[in-house]
């Protein structure tokens, strides 16, 4: 068996140690490896991950993690399953989401963020710690520098809660960047130019509308109406129209399969299963895309009003820029069919859907990590050591 005893720098010793471990494995298949981690790309991923620069899109529905020089390496639901008796975390992310609405009495699946802000501090901290360790290959003593995207309309108390959650999860420095700025950077808008750029980021908990110029937000409006509110509107419609109770996942599936913001060339339908509120028994009904569009009209009008309000506050010079540049849609809500058409009709401006709207904010956090001076310009909070 090989061993290492030398006075070389720590990173050299660890690299050699992993090399010899792999060599030992070829000689001794039963060689114990649980004493230290081995990465599958030892000299690439292992060392660059140690740069400890991480960007996080801490969303109400999903959390995305962008590691510097590696891009987005994690994309999981913002859900945590805990044992209500012991407060033990049982599952995080995809595994926990599969438990929503299906857990026994002693297990609770929790969404620790609501309307874009932290609703449960301790569970959010546990979730962040889990994701940070996961992208760092399970190493517990990892103290990364972290950039977190937050809604532009949150209070200072809510900002402090996000910052403290990240610090308690092990971050050595924490920067907060407003979501619309991160989204604009992520989709490639020239935010440093002396020209107007308009971004509409529709997430799970909030819709962020912002005018950006010269690396700053000229005006922004944040409304707590977004994907979750559309799901809730569908749930309430099913109760009113059919006396049918459906779960969160079913409502989201209906939105994805039938949802639209404008009339479709061909209306579609689907079967929906739930519980009859009168008989108390399982029931199956058929609904149409037009029904779902009507059900979502109120939250969609709220989003349109937020865009209108922002345009009304736009300085004349920037308004002239928007006539040519138009509006860019990002976030999961941008995938709703016909939303670009609806906004085009309501504003008279060109409307473009980002190439990868779900990743826009996370891509933006990754880009600002590349240059610390730019990071400090576009973040509105000092690093916390």
Cα 305–chain centre separation: 24
Q: Is 254 annotated as a binding residue?
A: yes
Q: Is 334 annotated as a binding residue?
A: yes
3-state secondary structure of 36: coil
Q: Is 61 annotated as a binding residue?
A: yes
Q: Is 155 annotated as a binding residue?
A: no
Q: Is 354 annotated as a binding residue?
A: no
- Residue 269's DSSP bridge partners are 288
Q: Is 280 annotated as a binding residue?
A: no
DSSP letters for 139-196:
-SS---EEEEEE-TT--HHHHHHHHHHHHHTT-SEEEEEEHHHHHHHHTT--TTSSS-
Q: Is 253 annotated as a binding residue?
A: yes
Q: Are 328 and 21 in contact (CB under 8 A)?
A: no
Q: Is 306 annotated as a binding residue?
A: no
Q: Is 96 annotated as a binding residue?
A: no
Q: Is 206 annotated as a binding residue?
A: yes
Q: Is 333 annotated as a binding residue?
A: yes
Q: Is 204 annotated as a binding residue?
A: yes
- Residue 330's DSSP bridge partners are 201
DSSP letters for 71-83:
EEEEEEES-EEEE
Q: Is 255 annotated as a binding residue?
A: yes
Q: Are 193 and 213 in contact (CB under 8 A)?
A: yes
Burial class (CB in 10 A: 0-12, 13-18, 19+), 266: exposed
Interatomic CA distance for residues 217 and 181, integer angstroms: 7
Q: Is 305 annotated as a binding residue?
A: no
Q: Which residues are part of a known binding site?
A: 60-62, 204-206, 252-255, 332-335
Return binding residues for ATP.
60-62, 204-206, 252-255, 332-335
């Amino acid at each position: 068996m090989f061993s290492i005893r030398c006075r070389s720098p720590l990173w050299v010793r660890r690299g050699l140690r992993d090399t010899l471990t792999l060599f030992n494995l070829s000689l001794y298949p039963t060689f114990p490896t649980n004493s230290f981690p081995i990465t599958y790309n030892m000299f690439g991923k292992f060392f660059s991950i140690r740069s400890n620069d991480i960007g996080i899109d801490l969303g109400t529905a999903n959390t995305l993690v962008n590691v510097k020089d590696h891009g987005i390496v994690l994309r999981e639901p913002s859900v945590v399953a805990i044992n209500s008796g012991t407060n033990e975390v049982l599952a995080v992310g995809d595994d926990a989401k599969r438990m929503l609405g299906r857990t026994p009495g002693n297990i609770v699946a929790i969404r620790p963020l609501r309307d874009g802000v932290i609703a449960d501090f301790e569970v959010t901290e546990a979730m962040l710690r889990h994701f940070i360790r996961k992208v760092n290959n399970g190493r517990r003593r990892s103290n990364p520098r972290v950039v977190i995207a937050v809604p532009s309309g949150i209070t200072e108390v809510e900002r402090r809660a996000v910052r403290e959650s990240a610090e308690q999860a092990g971050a050595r420095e924490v920067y907060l960047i407003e979501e619309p700025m991160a989204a604009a950077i992520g989709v490639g808008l020239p935010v440093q130019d002396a020209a107007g750029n308009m971004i509409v980021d529709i997430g799970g908990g909030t819709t962020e509308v912002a005018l950006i110029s010269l690396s700053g937000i000229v005006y922004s409006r944040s409304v707590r109406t977004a994907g979750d509110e559309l799901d809730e509107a569908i749930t309430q419609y099913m109760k009113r129209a059919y006396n049918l109770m459906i779960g969160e996942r079913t409502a989201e599936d209906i939105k994805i399969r039938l949802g639209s913001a404008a009339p479709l060339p061909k209306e579609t339908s689907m079967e929906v299963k739930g519980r009859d509120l009168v008989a108390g028994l399982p029931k199956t009904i058929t609904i149409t895309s037009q029904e779902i569009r009507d059900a979502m009209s109120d939250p969609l009008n709220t989003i349109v009003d937020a865009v209108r309000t922002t345009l009304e506050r736009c300085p004349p010079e920037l308004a002239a820029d928007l006539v040519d540049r138009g509006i860019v849609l990002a976030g999961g809500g941008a995938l709703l069919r016909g939303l670009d058409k609806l906004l085009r009709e309501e504003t008279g401006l060109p409307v473009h859907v980002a190439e990868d709207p779900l990743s826009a904010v996370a891509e933006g956090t990754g880009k600002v990590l590349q240059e610390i001076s730019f990071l400090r310009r576009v973040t509105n909070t000092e690093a916390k050591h």
